Amino acid sequence: MLQETIGFIGAGQMARALAGGFVRAGLIAPARVIAADPVADAVAAFMQAVPGSQSAIDNRFVAANADVIVLATKPQQIAAALADIAKPAAGKLVISIAAGVKLSTMAAALPKSRLVRVMPNTPCLVGQSASGYALGPHATDADAQLVGRLLEAVGRAFVVDEKLLDAVTGLSGSGPAFVYVIIEALSDAGVRMGLPRDVATQLAAQTVRGAGQMVLETGEHPGVLKDRVASPGGTTIAGLAALESGGLRGTLMAAVEAATRRSIELGQT
């Protein structure tokens, strides 16, 4: 179990998911988690999600009392947050999960901090996150190992060049929302065909979960696994033809591209 105190600047959904995931994984004790947010309801929700954690009076207090600082604010609030913690964060490891905010932007405001930029996703709450991260100025090998340990405790993590983090944002950062729409649509289809709603939703979610696990555990190309299900003249190939007619493949690719471009825009503003 880690002995460091982890402080969250921002107590929104992603901060709650990460902190809750770290605690669930047994990586850190709740008492070593601290959070601040200008929105009182966000702090209350954080305390409820991570029982036993600490609330802070402001960003400076978090930075002064934490060994590792997680910047979990909205991109539009990052400038103010960086100004708040510039002095107390000097010499400390600062991990940013703010979409689109570049390491160079953080380095300009925190020249004496060790920086890492991370793009996680919300399934970290259930230990199934898919994250990408890039090391910034002054980050050490020990820092890289610690960030990897934190992220691997709540899912899978990959070191990438910073220029690829916007694509990670578009794919795995926004991806859960795309998959939820797919699950909802599959469930709706099941109901349309006569299944009870609760059964249809469970079948849809488990089907997506199982298919993903097959890809991860077998290491085989999704197309190969797809072909094994689609027998000649059968039900699956009929359904696949309908998906192709509806443009599902192209629509999903467009969704990832749109999310990636928006991440780039946020970084520029």
Same-domain check for residues 135 and 31: yes
Asked if residue 167 belongs to a domain, the reply is: no
Of 135, 162, 189, at which residue does a domain stop?
A: 162
Rounded CA-CA distance 130/173 in Å is 8
The pLDDT score that the predictor gives to residue 98 is 87
Same-domain check for residues 257 and 133: no
Which domain, by its residues, includes 118? Answer: 6-162
Same-domain check for residues 13 and 115: yes
Mean pLDDT of 108-121: 94
Asked if residue 1 belongs to a domain, the reply is: no
CATH number for 128: 3.40.50.720
165 C-beta neighbours (distance < 10 Å), count: 25
Same-domain check for residues 150 and 229: no
Same-domain check for residues 55 and 155: yes
Asked if residue 168 belongs to a domain, the reply is: no
Domains in the chain, number:
2
236 C-beta neighbours (distance < 10 Å), count: 13
Same-domain check for residues 53 and 116: yes
The pLDDT score that the predictor gives to residue 185 is 98
The pLDDT score that the predictor gives to residue 265 is 87
269 pLDDT more than 80 = no
260 pLDDT more than 90 = yes
Of 104, 139, 162, at which residue does a domain stop?
A: 162
pLDDT band at 124; cut points 50, 70, 90? confident
Of 162, 185, 202, at which residue does a domain stop?
A: 162
pLDDT band at 125; cut points 50, 70, 90? confident
Same-domain check for residues 90 and 222: no
Mean pLDDT of 56-75: 93
Mean pLDDT of 30-41: 94
Asked if residue 128 belongs to a domain, the reply is: yes
Rounded to the nearest 10°, the torsion over CA 224, 230, 231, 232 is -100
The pLDDT score that the predictor gives to residue 182 is 98
The pLDDT score that the predictor gives to residue 99 is 81
Same-domain check for residues 143 and 213: no
Same-domain check for residues 186 and 158: no
Same-domain check for residues 188 and 218: yes
139 pLDDT more than 90 = yes
Average predicted confidence (pLDDT) for the chain: 94
How much of the chain, in percent, has pLDDT values that exceed 70?
100
Same-domain check for residues 192 and 251: yes
Contacts for 180-188 with beta carbons within 8 Å, 24 or more apart? 182/208, 183/208
Burial label for 221, CB within 10 Å (0-12, 13-18, 19+), is exposed
Q: Whole-model pTM?
A: 0.88
CATH number for 180: 1.10.3730.10
pLDDT in tens, 204-255: 999 999 999 999 999 999 999 999 999 999 999 999 999 999 999 999 999 9
Coil, strand, or helix at residue 159?
Answer: strand
The pLDDT score that the predictor gives to residue 74 is 86
Query: Residue 43 contacts by C-beta under 8 Å, 6 or more apart in sequence?
Result: 11, 35, 36, 37, 55
**Strand ordering across the sheet containing 155-159:** 54-55, 33-36, 6-9, 68-71, 93-96, 114-119, 129-135, 155-159
Q: Report residue 164 as tokens.
A: 């690829």
The pLDDT score that the predictor gives to residue 230 is 96
Same-domain check for residues 237 and 112: no
Helix (H) or strand (E) holding 177: helix 175-192
- Dihedrals phi, psi of 209, to nearest 5 degrees: -60, -45
pLDDT band at 1; cut points 50, 70, 90? confident
